[in-house]
A and B are shown apart, each in its own frame.
Chain A
Amino acid sequence: MRFPKPLPAAAGVLLLVLWPLIFPDAAHIQQVLGITCLYATLALAWNLYALTGAISLGHAAFFGLGAYASALLNHYYHWSPLLTIPLGALAAVVFAVFWAMGFRRLRGVYLGLASLAALEIPKTIVDNWDRFTYGSMGIMGLDRLPSATLGGLQVDLGMDLQAQYYLLLGIMLLAVLLNLKSIRSRWGWTLRAIRENETAAAALGIASNRERAKALLLSSYLAGLAGALYAHILGLVEPGLVFNLHLSVLPLVFCIFGGSTKVWGPVLGAFILYPLEQLCLLPLFPMGHSAVYGLVIILTIFFFPQGIAAWLPRAPKSA
């Protein structure tokens, strides 16, 4: 079994927690890293499902459904985002149930392609249900994250970028914890067994479809949560934005870049690629940034075929 050295991970987390206190003025970096945490959460959600060997191209559907459900609850009932976000994410889980039933027999490339097609279903419905979802117009003016009182301390999650950053960081760390549990537990090894050889897993009495569905439901809830947060951070939803294929590809890129099946892989991927693009490439090369981004991806894959996380110190195996 693997017992990772906790030191680098702990140091990394500490760094993420402490830096805003040391550089309190760097609001734009808090902004970018906050969104990075959000996308890392999405990537971690994707990774949970990928642990069963499934490469999904449909996670934008969960993201979008979470965003829209939360937005609609907020718009029609004026509930606080603190309530609508966790509730709205359940819409993604409902979709995941259909997914788990419909795609039971699909594996590999076919599953990926089917999930890609599945994205169209919520997208087109939301886009065309004008009376309820406002269709292509989207919904603007959603409530921002409210201020909350924590132990006598007033934190404005909507306006104070630092507070928002800590909220998103916290949610990301929860997702990391969930990934950690799902990799280094009996269940995690069950998922790994399914991923490596489904026949052998079944021969050991593992109900692969059920375990895969469990992972998918967890994954969809996290992805929905990320979508719902996104809607309220930006204050708007629009079908083309939250059901965007780019949101399906992003977690894939972060996970493979960082190293899938490793707890910190998706986080590393997100924390390298997104800030690199947002803080360096876009300001430096307003026109050619995507060329550089593409080159970075290509070169990294050639140098780190197992993802960046493979570079992290790894503890020797103990028996």
Chain B
Amino acid sequence: MAAQGPQVCLEVRQIKKYFGDQTVLRDVSFSLPAGEILGLIGPNGAGKSTLFNIISGWQKADAGSVFFFGQEITSWTPKDLSRAGLARTFQVPQIFPEMSAWENVLMGAWLPPQSRPSFSKAQEEADHWLSLVGLLELRHTPARDLPLAQQRLVELAQVLATRPRLLLLDEIAAGFSLGAVKRLAAGLAKLRDQGLTLLLTDHLFNLLEEVADRVLALDRGEIIVQGPPAALIHHPDVVSAYLGTRCGAADNGEA
């Protein structure tokens, strides 16, 4: 079927999540057109990771629903979501510690049951994605021996190798140097141009500023502002959310 205009890749409707009597997410809704890079910012505890976990199936929402290319995926398991083409990375990179960097990426190319590529094809893929993240020369290093930032890149290459349609990156650029952030941003932009949809969180703003088409600012479980990154970066609500939480000032909390 020929889509009219941009297809909606991900739609999140009225997600609610409580931990005990604490509300972590209240009625979060947004939609992400295919081929867009959407950023998600917010201070610590704003609910970014919880939202990510709910979308990718690692946590259950207490209310609301999630749609992926029109299909409801609200209570799917991570494994089923991965098979459907929704991939993610984690704040603490989830890789195979005893395997080499290259083997890690190979796992992404070779193992996913939905594609079942041949071994030689998977090897080529692994080379391709590993070189894309710039770690080809470290291919034989056991993943556990890599610094955290490079482990994140290995994880990125690994999930990219599964050929997802939507990729969720959770603070992928944490601990990156400025140059590395720029390279990563360029790479992500290229992927977007090839048709990948991306949802990124960033604690700080550096990566989103480079690459996001649109940014949502989350605070205390609610989307407070959204718009292009340049407009958000100095938005008073965003600034106060960051400052307020950081300083923990009570008067800001009441406002």
Give the interface of A toward B (CB within 8 A): 186, 189-190, 192-193, 196-197, 199-208, 317, 319
Contact with A along B103-134 (1 / 0, CB 8 A): 00001101111100001000100000000000
Contact A204 B95 (CB under 8 A): no
Q: Are B111's CB and A204's CB within 8 A?
A: yes
Within B131-156, which residues are at the interface with A (CB < 8 Å)? 139-140, 155
A189 and B111 contact, CB distance less than 8 A: yes
- Name B's A-contacting residues (CB within 8 A): 77-80, 82-83, 87-88, 90, 94-100, 102, 107-108, 110-114, 119, 123, 139-140, 155, 158-159, 162
Give the Cβ gap from B94 to chain A, nearest Cβ, in Å.
4
If the complex has contacts A204-B111, A204-B158, are A196 and B79 also in contact, measured as CB distance less than 8 A? no
Least Cβ–Cβ distance between B83 and chain A, in angstroms: 4
| Residues on A with beta carbons closer than 8 Å to the beta carbon of B162 | 204-205
Q: Which residue of B lies closest to A190 (CB)?
A: B111
Separation of A319 and B105 alpha carbons in the complex (Å)? 13
> Is B79 touching A205 in the complex (CB atoms < 8 A)?
yes
Q: Is the CB of A206 within 8 A of B113?
A: yes
Instruction: Give 5 nearest A-B pairs by CB, closest first.
Output: A205-B82, A200-B94, A196-B96, A205-B83, A205-B112
A202:B78 contact, CB within 8 angstroms:
yes
Assembly CA distance A288 to B83 (angstroms): 58
Question: Who on chain B is nearest to A261 by CB?
Answer: B98
- Complex: A118 Cα to B209 Cα, angstroms: 57
A203–B96 CB distance below 8 A? no
* CA A277 to CA B113, docked complex, whole Å: 46
Known contacts A202-B78, A202-B79, A205-B79; is-contact A197 B94 (Cβ 8 Å) = yes
B107→A193 contact, CB < 8 A: yes
Write the chain A residue with the least CB distance to B104. Answer: A200
The answer on a CB contact under 8 Å between A193 and B111 is yes
Contact between B119 and A197, CB atoms less than 8 A apart: no
Nearest CB on A from B88, distance (A): 7
Contact of B108 among A196, A204, A208, A319 (CB under 8 A): A204
Nearest Cβ on chain A to B145's Cβ, whole angstroms: 14
- A189–B79 CB distance below 8 A: no
CA distance A200 to B96 in the complex (A): 7
Q: Which of A200, A207, A317 contacts B95 (CB 8 A)?
A: A200
Which chain A residue lies CB-closest to B127?
A319
Q: A202–B119 Cα gap in the complex (Å)? A: 20
Of all chain A residues, which has the CB nearest B144?
A196
Partner of B96, one of A192, A202, A207: A192
User: Taking the nearest CB of chain B, how far is it from the CB of A53, in angstroms?
Assistant: 11
Contact B95 A205 (CB under 8 A): no
Are A206 and B96 CB-contacts (below 8 A) given A186-B119, A199-B90? no
Whether B95 and A189, one on each chain, are in contact in the complex, defined by CB atoms closer than 8 angstroms, is: no
Tell me the nearest residue of chain B to A198, going by C-beta. Answer: B94
Q: How far is the CA of A206 from the CA of B113 in the complex (A)?
A: 7
Given contacts A197-B94, A197-B96, A205-B83, contact A186 B140 (CB under 8 A): no
Best-buried of A196, A204, A207 by chain B (most CB within 10 Å): A204
Among A197, A201, A317: residue with most chain B CB under 10 A: A197
Contact A206 B140 (CB under 8 A): no
| Between-chain CB contacts (< 8 Å), 22 pairs | A186-B111, A192-B96, A197-B95, A199-B90, A199-B94, A200-B94, A200-B95, A201-B111, A203-B78, A203-B90, A203-B159, A204-B108, A204-B112, A204-B162, A205-B79, A205-B111, A205-B114, A205-B162, A206-B111, A207-B79, A207-B113, A317-B100
How far is the CB of A163 from the nearest CB of chain B, in Å? Answer: 40
Given contacts A186-B119, A317-B140, A203 and B99 within 8 Å (CB-CB): no
Instruction: Report whether B111 and A203 are in contact in the complex, using a CB–CB cutoff of 8 Å.
Output: no
Q: How far is the CB of A232 from chain B (nearest CB, A)?
A: 40
Question: What residues of B have a CB within 8 angstroms of the CB of A189 in the complex?
Answer: 107, 110-111
